[in-house]
A and B are shown apart, each in its own frame.
Chain A
Amino acid sequence: MYDFELRRPENLSEAIESLSADGAQALAGGQTLIPTLKNRLASPDVLVSIGGLAELQGVSESNGVVSIKAGTTHGVVAGSVKSYPALAALAANIGDPAVRNRGTIGGSIANNDPSACYPAATLASKATIITSKRSIPSSDFFVGIFETVLDEGELITQVDFEVPDVANYQKFDQPASRFALVGVFLARYGNDVRVAVTGASEDGVFRWSEAEQALGSDFSASAIDRLEVDAEGMIEDIHGSKDYRASLIKVLTKRAVKAC
């Protein structure tokens, strides 16, 4: 890996100041970024270490909203989010224990890996992504694979999830990487049903709107029997074809409905 200057700011305002430098990038848990640096797929001049900042740690729950500070690790989310069990379960199944002790929710969402779990939860549960500059609805946040609306130097500080009536995340593990080969996060708010899909599309996380409509009027697995996901635009790799991924979306959505 190329060398860089590693800065360890003492507080959030110092971190944001450091991030305004040319070639600066935030280092949260580093569980994606460090392997990326080793492969020389990124070469920042300055890395600003934010994982340990106290202002970016912690979970709070009130009035149907779970607020998670961006530097909170998956392990902490898994163990401390009580009012949104589907979200805690998702966090408990990311990577492996050592990865969950370092990886953070803010890092996962900012990176927007097309196979990551958190983007699906964020999109399905009407989340708001709060940054150093603004609040962004999750529906506007994800642009494409590894791409979000975040500006240079803009830092996610917190993610607010609206707790649904019921929710379930179905992850079909890619067993080598522990990423989702396909993952479906289903959340129901009355008749408003959200189905967010990760791991499948070449455009990254997306909502399966036909299934949402069908499930909104009939919340049963058979409600989506007649629907098919178009395999066009799905990811194809050695782990699964486009058709296989398209098929998995429907299978996992049905499993999620049954599990609710």
Chain B
Amino acid sequence: MATVTMTVNGKSVSGEVEGRTLLSDFVRNNLNLTGTHIGCDTSQCGACVVHVDGKAVKSCTIFALEVEGSTVKTIEGMANPDGSLGVVQQAFQDNHGLQCGFCTPGMVMSAAALLDENPNPTETEIREYLEGNICRCTGYHNIVKSIQAAAVAA
């Protein structure tokens, strides 16, 4: 076991982990931040996307120890400080950008990363950016609409 320290959603946290402990397991099991979902655990579905130092990464495909000293943002960090929904979250709610909701944390984190890089994406750019996020309800149309609305609202 080794100690890992990082900043998650603005708070400094640390915990004891094995070499093989994935970031997804660390945030869910050690920090009880269960908004990050593990859909496939094979690096394909994107439900576990979080931001590490501002970049979208699949938290099931990076070890917790690799994130030592980094800044992590999970879906729990997307709300406003008063607890109300952030811009991207609100856009998903307003546009029915979710059905079962399982993929939504990853969708929101990918959408936020896209809008950081490209504040006014075209529909094609949004769809291309979501290549690594799978929605089994196949609710992509409304997810794309949500991200377009978030771009306007931001």
Bound form: Cα–Cα A34–B44 in Å: 12
Instruction: Give the Cβ gap from B56 to chain A, nearest Cβ, in Å.
Output: 5
Q: Closest 4 CB pairs between A and B?
A: A96-B132, A6-B19, A96-B131, A101-B55
Task: Tell whether B110 is near chain A: CB-to-CB under 8 Å.
Answer: yes
- Whether A31 contacts B56 in the complex (CB less than 8 A), given A4-B20, A95-B132, A178-B131, comes out as no
By a CB distance below 8 angstroms, the chain B residues around A3 are: 18-20
Closest partner residue, chain A, to B40 (CB atom)? A35
| Contact yes or no, B110 A34, CB < 8 A | no
Q: How many B residues are at the interface, by size bracket?
A: 20 to 34
Q: Which residue of B lies closest to A46 (CB)?
A: B19
* Cα separation A34 to B19 with both chains bound (whole Å): 12
Interface residues on A, range: 20 to 34
Q: How far is the CB of B48 from chain A (nearest CB, A)?
A: 9
Which residues A160-198 have CB closer than 8 A to chain B?
176, 178
In the assembled complex, A102 has its CB within 8 A of some CB on chain B: yes
Residues of chain B contacted by A38 (CB below 8 angstroms): 41-42
Report yes or no: A34 in contact with B61, Cβ–Cβ below 8 A.
yes
- Please give, as numbers and ranges, the residues of chain B lying within 8 Å of A8 by CB-CB distance: 65-66, 68
Contacts of B46 in A (CB 8 A): 96, 98
Does chain A have a CB within 8 A of B43? Answer: yes
Whole-angstrom distance between the alpha carbons of A101 and B58 in the complex? 9
| A1-21 to B contact mask, C-beta < 8 Å, 1/0 | 111111010000000000000
Hey, which chain A residues are within 8 Å of B115, CB to CB? none
Contact B61 A102 (CB under 8 A): yes
13 further interface pairs, Cβ-Cβ under 8 Å (given A38-B42, A97-B113, A99-B61): A1-B20, A30-B61, A30-B62, A30-B63, A30-B66, A34-B61, A47-B19, A49-B63, A49-B66, A51-B66, A97-B56, A98-B46, A178-B131
Q: Which partner residue on chain B sits nearest A32 by CB separation?
A: B43
Q: How many A-B residue pairs have CB under 8 A?
A: 78
Chain A residues positioned under 8 Å from B114 (CB to CB): 97
Q: For residue B61, which residues in chain A have a CB less than 8 angstroms away from its CB?
A: 30-31, 34-35, 99, 102
Q: Give the most central of B18, B42, B43, B65: most A CB within 10 Å.
A: B43
- Interface positions, chain A 86-102, Cβ under 8 Å from B, are 95-99, 101-102
Which of B44, B57, B61, B129 is most buried by chain A, counting CB atoms within 10 A of its CB?
B61
Are the C-beta atoms of B132 and A34 separated by less than 8 Å?
no
B63-79 contacts to A, CB under 8 A, are 63, 65-66, 68
CB pair A6–B65 under 8 Å, yes or no, is: yes
B143 contacts chain A at the CB level, 8 A cutoff: no
Complex partner residue of B132 from A27, A75, A97, CB under 8 angstroms: A97
Q: With A35-B43, A99-B132 in contact, do A49 and B56 touch (Cβ < 8 Å)?
A: no
Does B42 lie within 8 Å of A98, measured CB to CB?
no
CA distance A2 to B21 in the complex (A): 11
Tell me if B147 is interfacial: C-beta within 8 Å of chain A. no
- B58 — which chain A residues lie within 8 A by C-beta? 98-99, 102
Given the interface contacts A6-B65, A8-B65, does A98 sit within 8 Å of B20 by beta carbon?
A: no
Q: Is A52 an interface residue (CB 8 A)?
A: yes
A214 within 8 A of B: no
